[in-house]
Amino acid sequence: MLGRLLMSAAVFLPWMAQASPAEWKREWPKTDFSRTSVGDWGQIRSGGVPKDGIPALDAPQFTAAAKDRRLMPREPVIALEIEGAPARAYPLRYLTWHEIVNDEVAGVPVAVTYCPLCNSAMTFDRRTRAGVLRFGVTGKLRYSDMVMYDRETQSWWQQAIGTGIAGEMSGQRLASLPSWVESWQEFKARNPDGLVMAQPGYNRRYGQNPYRGYDTSDWPFLYDGTPPPHGLAPLDRVVRVGSRAWPLARLAKTGEIREAGVVLSWRAGQASALDAGTLAKGRNIGSVRVRDASGFDVAHDVMFAFAFHAFWPDGRWMLK
């Protein structure tokens, strides 16, 4: 599996060695590595590409959902609904190749992010004490999760937790905004007047999956942490809300779980973005939505179990 992943992602082995701030300074001269929350720099590895080798998107274009002819019904999209603006869909056929979209919705500057290697799809408010930040991809991984950076201070940020880990913004947290991954047909049916991000102007194999078969592999790419507990496979999906994680398999059996002050719902029809060579042909993993007792959407993530275990080692596993 690893060989196939490396080949199809077109990564370059010379970039994949561990390094340290002394080596990184050549590429990151403005990043203050003396300010960090990382206890062991050996946790950070190259993902195979240099800084901005995976190009984040700024100010994307959108088209009316009703007019899109590219997306297939079961394809996954990140849905974002902010009052005062039409609902927006950010297709994973694009995020898989760009990982970050810097956008503004109803006056709110947002970063829509997706890390394929840990299946984390999170949306953040880009407003911070240092002003509005714009994010890019460092090309580095920590526990197989994307390390982002902001272009204003050149600080590094951990995508799965939305926290600065090196530089001026070390220790700062981004506010998470409710968003969720669902099928294109589900988004369009609920939002006939919604918008969908238009295809970017890059030469990429949009709609194809460079990580074919990844979510059924035995071990995560470049992950040197411990496996999750309770007999869960490293790449089993879990629904994370705060520091709690519900196995997706448990939710899919019942369709709904009400506990810990939230309501988790599951609906069939979404294709896995990390299964077949074509996203639209991925196996059915279903869509998840999380609301509070009042029916308001709650920020959450559907990520792999190993990533939850790595970043929330004391987190609570909601097994039954």
Domain ranges for the chain: 8-177, 203-317
pLDDT of 1 = 37
Q: What is the mean pLDDT of residues 221-225?
A: 94
Query: Does position 201 have pLDDT exceeding 90, yes or no?
Result: yes
Express the helix, strand and coil content of the chain in percent, nearest 5 each.
20, 35, 50
Residue 39 token pair: 């206890």
Closest CA to 288 of 301, 278, 276: 301
Mean pLDDT for the chain? 95
pLDDT at residue 5 above 50?
no
pLDDT at position 7: 39
Half-sphere exposure of 24 (CA within 13 A, CB side): 26
Q: What percent of the chain has pLDDT over 70?
A: 94
State yes or no: pLDDT of 11 exceeds 60.
no
Section 145-154 average pLDDT: 99
Q: How far apart, in whole angstroms, are the C-alpha atoms of residue 120 and residue 145?
A: 8
What does the alpha-carbon distance between residue 86 and residue 165 come to, in Å, rounded to a whole number? Answer: 34
Bridge partners for 122 per DSSP:
113
Give the model confidence (pLDDT) of 79-93 as tens digits.
999 999 999 999 999
* DSSP β-ladder status, 262-267 and 287-292: antiparallel
Averaged pLDDT for residues 173-195? 98
**Above 50 in pLDDT, residue 62?**
yes
The predicted-structure confidence for 108-137, as pLDDT tens digits, reads as follows 999 999 999 999 999 999 999 999 999 999
Please give the pLDDT value at position 20.
84
The model's pTM is 0.94
3-state DSSP call for residue 36? strand
Position 67 scores a pLDDT of 96
Taking only the tens place, the pLDDT of each residue in 238-290 is 999 999 999 999 999 999 999 999 999 999 999 999 999 999 999 999 999 99
